[in-house]
A and B are shown apart, each in its own frame.
Chain A
Amino acid sequence: MTATIEKPVVTQDKPSLKHRLAERGVDRTLLLVLPGLLFVILLFVYPVLYGLQLSFQPKEGGGLLANYTKFFSDPYLFDTIWITLRLAVPAALINVLASIPIAYRMRGRVRGKRLLTTLFVLPITLGTVLTAEGLIRYLDPTGWFNKVLALFGADEPARLVHNYTGVLLSLIISGFPFAFLLTLSYLSGIDPTLEQAAATLGADWRKRFRHITLPLLAPGLAITFCLTFVLAFSVFPSAYLVGLPQGETRVMSIAAYESAFRDFDFPLGSAIAMLMALVMLVVIGLVLVWRSTLYRGSTGGKG
């Protein structure tokens, strides 16, 4: 009896092309990315690039950078940066800081959690115009709030709308739901036994929050800050409706809008829009640099 071991017939030296492509993540499921990609290119990348090149073609000539020189030399335009930052940074900070204690109390199983979360998140659905209208009715010198103040003997009505305060309040109302939802999900991702462990090691609730929860939450708070900051920085309707659009709440988006659609200087409007993006990127960049110094690994929960 003889047994011969036949060598397998080698038809190919390499695996098939299809197989090799799949190894590198190229297969038919890649087609799923296509619609989204097309959407982004047509509706985001192209308009941004178009605006960018437009901003370098000033309406009245004067070289490539004329629009930018104009922005930085005209205080009426340049000051909008500080006006916008003065609104957006406090609004984002207040939203993040206010959402921490509420989310802290609401994580895990809490009676009525769904109802409360709905209430907190409801303002998202209202839209800025409705919010603004409500604010005006409520906080106007003749509104309920001031009527109640007058009952308690206030001499003059508090000025809370058509100024800085009005816009800040509007930004908090519309930005808080996002901050709250994000903070809640970051907090739910932190393993609750970590705090229990800290408690058995002698940490009271302040120390537990300071040494365990806050450090683990901080990277999430940074992201939350960035998102609510971006929302607040591009404020437009409420700056008009409950602010003082020609004065203390003349934000960058108003300046851009006026240049483009009142003075029909589209290139200057584009330049202002580009600078808006730049300022936002700088702030977000700073926050992300700070974030990169924090612990960002697993927080042990199932969030």
Chain B
Amino acid sequence: MTFAELHIDRVRRAFGDTVALRDLDLTIKGGEFVALLGPSGCGKSTALNCLAGLLPLTGGQILMDGKRIDTLPPERRGFGMVFQNYALFPHMSVRRNVAFGLSMRKVARADRERRVDEALRLVQLTDHAKKFPAQLSGGQQQRVAIARAIVLEPALVLMDEPLSNLDASLRIEMRTEIRRLHQSLGLTTVYVTHDQEEALALADRLVVLRDGLVQQIGSPEEVYAHPANRYVAGFMGYRNLLSVRVSSSDDGSATVTGEGFTLAGVNRDGLSEGEAVAAFRPTDVTVAAEEGDNTVRASVEVVEYHGREQAVEARLPSGEALHVRTESRLAPGDDVLFRVPRERVLVFAP
């Protein structure tokens, strides 16, 4: 079972007086991998639970190829879901866990066995079929959860922060595994995460949420290189978000001043005056030889060793922190002149 288009139409979910999700509009095409990205409390898990049918909507509707599905209970939507804590049935073997959905749908035994074998092979757990969830490592449990969800070949796979309980190296391994599965099976997937790296690595399209509101929808390249606002920028690695005032501007660029520095940058919000935020990535900052365009003076406070690079936190005269990643060797206490290329500085409305 598959679909051409899943239309999420002004979906809204409130808990009492707090609105967790405001008027989410999103169209998902068959085969697409969509990531819902945002910090905790942004409404991404709420959106996923609404899609799964585990939470009723407060408003709006969900249409699959024009048919309303938001009124169906979860067991009749035919979506597979991978939970953050995996939610494996502890009293069933791996094999029975994976077969559960097929038994519920009364798939004939021979067909069921074949599909379970296939799913276990896909997640490389054939040798562990007889074990119980408690006998497996975190990564293996994760793979059982994925096998259990995909064995039904669901129209839509929903993943709720599936990697957040794994340690760092396993997380990257499983991320590749999920991407590989998506490429080989082509199952439409909605993936919830707070990790922008994970979202960028996996998704065809990103939906960045904040306080229940969509901030930006776009491809990983678009969101990474052209964040829509200062909030998305902050989430996409623009760690430096300095409070500044616009001193002059023309069509595409703006000159802004802060305490003791002046920066020229890209005028993203068409500002002509007033308060603004200058956003740039730590990796775009270099150590300058002499005063010039787009230079900033700051004193180094903390230096972290990252192999070839150092992560430096320096203090600006205004008291704001300046985050820098540089190959230059700096030491705490150094008074350093930094430069940011003007095309790398994005000026946003505050």
Contacts and interface: CB of A to CB of B under 8 A. Distances in A.
A201 B104 contact: yes
Contact of A298 (B52, B87, B104, B134): B134
Interface string B136-174: 000000000000110010000010000000000000000
Interface string B35-64: 000000000000000001110000000000
B306 interface: no
Contact of B75 (A200, A215, A295): A200
Interface range for B:
20 to 34
A118 B149 CA distance: 41
Contact of A297 (B85, B100, B134): B134
A200 B52 contact: yes
Interface stretch (B76-84, B120-128, B185-193, B244-252): B76-84
Contact of B85 (A191, A200, A295, A299): A191
A297 B74 contact: no
A198 B148 CA distance: 10
A211 interface: yes
A199 B54 contact: yes
Pick the most buried of B54, B78, B89: most chain A CB atoms within 10 A of its CB.
B89
A268 B85 CA distance: 59
A204 B87 contact: no
B333 interface: no
Contacts of B152: 201-202
A212 interface: yes
A300 B87 contact: yes
Contacts of A137: none
A216 B101 contact: no
A2 interface: no
Contacts of B87: 191, 193-194, 196-197, 300
B90 A200 contact: no
A30 to B, nearest CB: 32
A299 to B, nearest CB: 6
Contacts of B76: 202
B224 interface: no
Contacts of B132: 297
A202 B89 contact: no
Interface residues of A, number: 22
Given A204-B75, A299-B90, A196 B104 contact: no
Contacts of A300: 85, 87, 90
Interface string A71-96: 00000000000000000000000000
B54 A196 contact: yes
A257 B83 CA distance: 59
A280 interface: no
A70 interface: no
A191 B83 CA distance: 12
B18 to A, nearest CB: 15
Nearest to A201: B101
Interface in A251-303: 295, 297-300
Interface in A153-189: none
Pick the most buried of A199, A203, A207: most chain B CB atoms within 10 A of its CB.
A199
A200 B79 contact: yes
A211 B100 CA distance: 9
A298 B104 CA distance: 24
B67 to A, nearest CB: 18
B114 interface: no
Contact of A199 (B73, B89, B90): B73
B100 A198 contact: yes
A190 to B, nearest CB: 9
Contact of B91 (A193, A196, A202, A215): A215
Interface string A192-232: 01101111111110010001100110000000000000000
B105 interface: yes
Contacts of B75: 199-204
Given A199-B54, A201-B104, A194 B89 contact: yes
A200 B157 CA distance: 10
A300 B81 CA distance: 18
B134 A200 contact: no
B17 to A, nearest CB: 16
A295 B90 contact: yes
A200 B156 CA distance: 11
A193 B85 contact: yes
A278 to B, nearest CB: 33
A197 B87 CA distance: 6
A297 B90 contact: yes
Contacts of A194: 87, 89-90
Contacts of B73: 199, 204
Contacts of A191: 85, 87
Interface of A: 191, 193-194, 196-204, 207, 211-212, 215-216, 295, 297-300
29 contacts: A191-B85, A191-B87, A193-B87, A196-B52, A196-B54, A197-B87, A197-B89, A198-B100, A199-B54, A199-B73, A199-B74, A199-B75, A200-B53, A200-B54, A200-B74, A200-B80, A201-B80, A201-B100, A201-B104, A202-B104, A202-B152, A203-B100, A207-B104, A215-B91, A295-B90, A297-B91, A297-B132, A300-B85, A300-B87
Given A200-B81, A295-B91, 9 more contacts: A193-B83, A196-B54, A197-B148, A199-B54, A200-B74, A201-B148, A211-B89, A215-B91, A216-B91
The 10 A-B residue pairs with the shortest CB-CB distance, nearest first, are A295-B91, A201-B101, A197-B87, A202-B104, A199-B74, A193-B87, A200-B81, A203-B104, A202-B75, A199-B75
